[in-house]
Amino acid sequence: MRRRAVDFRRPVRRRYSKVFWLTLCAIVILLFFAFFRQEKGSTSTPAMLQRYNRHNKFIEGLNITEEMLSPHSIARQLNDQISLAKGFVVIAKESNNLQFAWELSAQIRNSQVLLSNAATRQTPLTAAESETAMRDMALLLYQSQQLHYDSGTMIMRLKAKIQSLEEQARSVIEKSSKYGQIAAEEVPKSLYCLGVRLTVEWFRNSDFQNKLMGGSHVAEKLKDNNLYHFCVFSDNILATSAVVNSTASNSNNPDLVVFHLVTDEVNYSPMKAWFSMNSFCGVTIEVQKFEDFSWLNASYVPVLKQLQDSDTQNYYFSGNNDDGRTPIKYRNPKYLSMLNHLRFYIPEVFPALDKVVFLDDDVVVQKDLSLLFSIDLNGNVIGAVETCMETFHRYHKYLNYSHPLIRAHFDPDACGWAFGMNIFDLVEWRKRNVTGIYHYWQEKNIDRTLWKLGTLPPGLLTFYGLTEPLDPRWHVLGLGYTNVDPQLIEKGAVLHFNGNSKPWLKIGMEKYKPLWDKYVDYSHPMLQQCNVH
């Protein structure tokens, strides 16, 4: 093949070696990194300075010196020895090795004096001045290890101590509960004295009976549904008096207020005497005893029928401790008292009435209650303040949901409510046969498997779906066992001293007792003679 002439040949490209290109790339990369580091350094330096300053401030706040942070610091070693020795002191005392505990404590004090002196003069501790203290402490710590005062032993001993303290605490709580229950059930001598003296006065003064009855005019008021009717079932004269007096004192129209009091045979005469010799702002008062109710018999009332059962009598009255399986509060015979269960027979007790407000004897009233009678219950039977702000005041707290009857009929999260201040529509009560519902559940609980405590559980069953919630200000609870918000107390219409700490007992809560005291006339001759205070 013929070669082209020189003029017609393609010019040859000038090529650079690979070494040249690699060198050039390396220079560019180095320049880039140098520039990047310079930028980063200029931006990060303030942040680093800020972190350093924060670290210094933190150390200053803890009062830590550089000497303490040093791994070779004498002060740090002494502090470590002191911390370990303090733990061994506790174990030595638990082991009743008091002499060794004293030696450890003395050496701890010596080491603390050295540290204190060094801090005062602001110079680090030297090995020479701390050598003796560190050696003596090291010997004691070694001796502790020989006595098996190590961390494992300390943990085991502390666990055993905690367990022992928990058992003691449980025992103390159980005893406190028993003694508190006994104190709550006790009738103070002053109240017993008052009952005796009033009984004597009732039979001595024949005018009392005529004064209490008041003639035909009073009898008409007892059945007048245009008036405000209240009922209290109690054997406590002084407590009932406080309820009546507080209601009358705060009523806008006390002459329209009628109180129906029901007590037992023992307290019937003294109760009548007390309300005959005292005036309560003109309110009308009726006193009855439940023994006079002919319909109140074992064939109609399940509680009276159960009282004839030997198992029931043994459970409540035998005094057997039941091996601790049942708390003492569940075995209180007051839960079989007809004055407690009479609230389920209000339509029979007051057959002529259409509406009534029920009050427990451990309440005081500080507002006018007449507006209760105009509240629309929306076809329900009872108006009550709900107590389910917390989960433990729902139905599952009071009832046995392992029982199929309870589980099938009642929502465990249904809201509980309070007895103590309730408005009852007796017309609806009779229409719905509420007393019959109560009888059904009371008979089903003869073996106490549905519930154990009090009248509230059967009330929750009886009035299930028949309860109208009231404004919480109508009924403030807890003044007999817990702390209550002062604002609730101030706004509350009815204050309830539910719990063991009743205001007429020595165990009453002192800060709430004045709320009750102001409705008791301690200057009354009868109260002074019986030393009621």
Name the amino acid, one letter, at 414.
A
Surface-to-core class of residue 53, CB atoms within 10 Å of its CB (0-12 exposed, 13-18 middle, 19+ buried):
exposed
Q: Encoding tokens for residue 369?
A: 């209650």
Q: Are 101 and 159 in contact (CB under 8 A)?
A: no
What is the C-alpha to C-alpha distance for residues 465 and 63, in angstroms, rounded to an integer?
66
What is the C-alpha to C-alpha distance for residues 468 and 459, in angstroms, rounded to an integer?
14
> In which residue are the tokens 């039941």 written?
322
Q: Encoding tokens for residue 326?
A: 């049942």
Phi, psi (degrees; rounded to nearest 5) at 438:
-60, -45
How many Cβ atoms are within 10 Å of 315's Cβ, its own excluded? 19
Q: Encoding tokens for residue 255?
A: 């002459």
Closest CA to 259 of 340, 381, 341, 358: 358
Closest CA to 372 of 385, 361, 362, 360: 385
Q: Within 13 Å, how many C-alpha atoms sit on residue 172's CB side? A: 6
Q: Are 339 and 235 in contact (CB under 8 A)?
A: yes
What is the C-alpha to C-alpha distance for residues 473 and 467, in angstroms, rounded to an integer?
17
pTM: 0.68
Q: Using one digit for the tens of pLDDT, what is the confidence trace for 185-242?
A: 567 888 889 999 999 988 887 777 666 666 677 889 999 999 999 999 999 999 999 9
Phi, psi (degrees; rounded to nearest 5) at 230:
-120, 150
What is the C-alpha to C-alpha distance for residues 386 and 394, in angstroms, rounded to an integer?
9
What is the C-alpha to C-alpha distance for residues 115 and 129, in angstroms, rounded to an integer?
11
Residue 358's region, left for phi above 0, alpha for psi from -120 to 50, else beta, is beta
> In which residue are the tokens 């003596």 written?
136
What is the C-alpha to C-alpha distance for residues 287 and 260, in angstroms, rounded to an integer?
6
Name the amino acid, one letter, at 495.
L
Spell out the per-residue pLDDT of the chain, length 533, in tens: 444 444 444 444 555 566 666 677 777 777 766 665 665 555 545 555 565 566 555 555 555 556 556 666 788 888 888 888 887 887 788 778 888 889 889 989 888 888 888 888 878 878 888 888 888 888 888 888 777 776 676 677 778 778 888 888 877 777 666 666 565 556 788 888 999 999 998 888 777 766 666 667 788 999 999 999 999 999 999 999 999 999 999 999 999 999 999 999 999 999 999 999 998 999 999 999 999 999 999 899 998 887 766 565 565 555 555 555 555 444 555 556 889 999 999 999 999 999 999 999 999 999 999 999 999 999 999 999 999 876 568 999 999 999 999 999 999 999 999 999 999 999 999 999 999 999 999 999 988 899 877 889 999 999 999 999 999 999 999 999 889 999 999 999 999 999 888 999 888 899 999 999 999 999 999 999 999 88
| Three-state SS at 361 | coil
Q: Using one digit for the tens of pLDDT, what is the confidence trace for 29-56?
A: 777 666 656 655 555 455 555 655 665 5
